[in-house]
Structure 1
Amino acid sequence: MTALSRPAHIEGLQSLAGNYDLILCDVWGVLHNGVKAYEAASDALTRFRAKGGQVVLVSNAPRPGASVGTQLDGFQVPRTAYDSIVTSGDLTRFAIQERIDRIVHHIGPPRDMPIYNGIDVRFGSIDEADYVVCSGFDNDEEETVEDYRSQLEAMRRRNLLMVCANPDLVVERGHMILPCAGTIALAYEEMGGEVFYAGKPHRPVYERALTVASDLVGHSIPKERVLAVGDAIRTDIAGAVGFGIDALMIARGIHAEELGLHKGDLVSDHVQDWVDRQPVQPTAFTEVLSW
């Protein structure tokens, strides 16, 4: 890993790009905010690839990578910005396939049902299920964890495993901060329930992404040549640090409001102080992903 005495504030990816062969890039909060795409971010990744680098998008989206690719097409994120996509939805599918003979109970909105596409799944109630897949809130703009308390208690009484298809606690959608499946999973853990987290900050999704990238280039890629890019300390940065790779934090993302950047303020010494105080720290940070 790059040895720095403290996280460095950089202006753009160009200053770091030569140190890496592979970027594992977050999607929501870096490439788009759920409403619009960030053109500068796509441009930066496209330039990195043009210089011979590989880019694998690593998302906690509770949907297969192909589905996320279609969504990015809708945002007009160019395919030139990335080589492949690995999602927590992909790892959730692996977990479901490993339990193909068991009954699953699903918690989450209908839009997340592509997780099960092509898999011969048997669904059932909590009383019938052998395990639970949680992909999020049915209505993330109105519901809270308390709306799921009775379901979690019923799961706990039966000691059901929860597969969390999106470990994020919250996500930025436009100017709103909305809860994700990770919030429900955390509440279940606090009740003593067992949870398998399919995405960041846990190792399996990084191992999968590195395998995908290595297959693309035909050889293994050493960790010291890998850079993670993301906007969330708890998932993107903690996950990278735990996996042993460098990380670039995007300040104008999920933490923008607490960093005082939600009103268009520029990155300041306050941001440096905030980053310095975090329990896990990025290698560097920047305002937005740009070249």
Structure 2
Amino acid sequence: MTEIIASLGDIARRYDVLLCDLWGCLHDGIHPFPDAVAALQAFRTAGGRVVLLTNAPRPEAAVRAHLNAMGVPTDCYDVIVSSGDAAQEAMLAGLVGDKVFHIGAKADENFFTTFSDDIVQRITIARVPLDQAEGVICTGLADDRVETPDMYREVLLGAKARGLKMICANPDIMVDKGENRLYCAGALAALYEEMGGEALYFGKPHAPVYELARRRLAAMDGKLPVDERMLCIGDGIATDVQGGMAEGLETLFITGGLAGPDIPLENGMPDAAALQAYLARHQQSPTAAIGFLR
């Protein structure tokens, strides 16, 4: 039975490491959430370690720069791990060839130019037109403010006709940016699979991004984290919760994010009946649930 809690402090003593999502948990894409920042700072002050585990399709350095520009304090986390990092590893290992066609925004150009020190560059990647490509890299829509996945049917059909595999650098279907919901790379990958194409995923809920998180945690002090003392935090039932559970980790579901329209809050706490109905519908059972991270 999922435990409804009032604050992270109610259960924090059980854990040494938090794997915390960004969008919908620490910020809304525009502003950080002060209560969430304070909760993570308190956890670190008590001796815990915080990994910001994000499905952003960008390398760690770009995520860090974005958080700095947004005003997220650096003392609320220890390390950043992005699905972009994990997808870069797959690309540089040649998983879809060395000539790739990119679907994504200009803001994602750094996916091909900026690599963390622990990302091994095994091959050289060339970005080419679709008719010359050996594979597809999808970091998102070119303009997620106005575009929808259906607008990409023609290019996806072209990739499918050539039998190209797609690396999806962000499995999220959508995110909330302020008051707006925007489509992500996962929506394009899902459409590609519906067409019969093959998509490969490297963010939550898939294993590679968790493997990278463990590796970066171990690199901090030479010790592997104990799974029983790790907690995954996020508002994505099919990404943060499902991914954490698949890894054998305990999870804290933030109900006021993506699930907000389905799970009303009462005095800041998720309605118990609505929460259980939502979890039953999605066949997931997080360890605990909270309206917003605090």
SS in 1 for 2:131: coil
Residue 266 of structure 1 deviates from its aligned partner by 5.2
Mapping for residues 108-127 of structure 1, pairs under 5 Å: 108-118=104-114, 120-127=124-131
Q: Which of 96, 100, 104 lines up with 1:104 in the alignment?
A: 100
SS in 1 for 2:270: coil
The one-character-per-residue Cα deviations of 1:88-141 (angstroms, maximum 9, x if unpaired) are 111121122112971110001100111111575311111100111001111212
Mapping for residues 199-214 of structure 1, pairs under 5 Å: 199-214=203-218
Residue 53 of structure 1 deviates from its aligned partner by 0.7
Taking only aligned residues, the RMSD between alpha carbons, in angstroms, comes to 1.8
Residue 206 of structure 1 deviates from its aligned partner by 0.7
Q: Distance in 2 between matches of 1:18 and 1:260?
A: 28
Corresponding position: 1:16 with 2:19: no
Residue 231 of structure 1 deviates from its aligned partner by 0.4
Q: Which of 16, 24, 45 lines up with 2:40 in the alignment?
A: 45
Distance 1:269 1:147, change over 3 A: same
Mapping for residues 136-151 of structure 1, pairs under 5 Å: 136-151=140-155
Structure 2, gaps ≥5 residues long: 116-123
SS in 1 for 2:35: helix
Q: Distance in 1 between matches of 2:207 and 2:147?
A: 30
Residue 276 of structure 1 deviates from its aligned partner by 4.0
Residue 275 of structure 1 deviates from its aligned partner by 4.2
Aligned position for 2:162: 158
| Identity across the alignment (%) | 38
Structure 1, gaps ≥5 residues long: 1-5
- Compute the TM-score of the two structures, normalised by the length of structure 1: 0.93
Query: Is the contact between residue 7 and residue 282 of structure 1 (CA under 8 Å) also seen in structure 2?
Result: yes
Residue 69 of structure 1 deviates from its aligned partner by 0.8
Deviating runs (4+, > 4 A) in structure 1?
A: 263-266
Query: Is the contact between residue 5 and residue 290 of structure 2 (CA under 8 Å) also seen in structure 1?
Result: yes
The one-character-per-residue Cα deviations of 1:56-97 (angstroms, maximum 9, x if unpaired) are 111000101111111111121111111000001111211221
The one-character-per-residue Cα deviations of 1:226-248 (angstroms, maximum 9, x if unpaired) are 10000010100000011110000
Corresponding position: 1:274 with 2:277: yes
Q: Distance in 2 between matches of 1:177 and 1:264?
A: 25
Aligned position for 2:21: 26
Aligned position for 2:222: 218
Aligned position for 2:63: 68
Corresponding position: 1:233 with 2:237: yes
Amino acid at match of 1:89: G
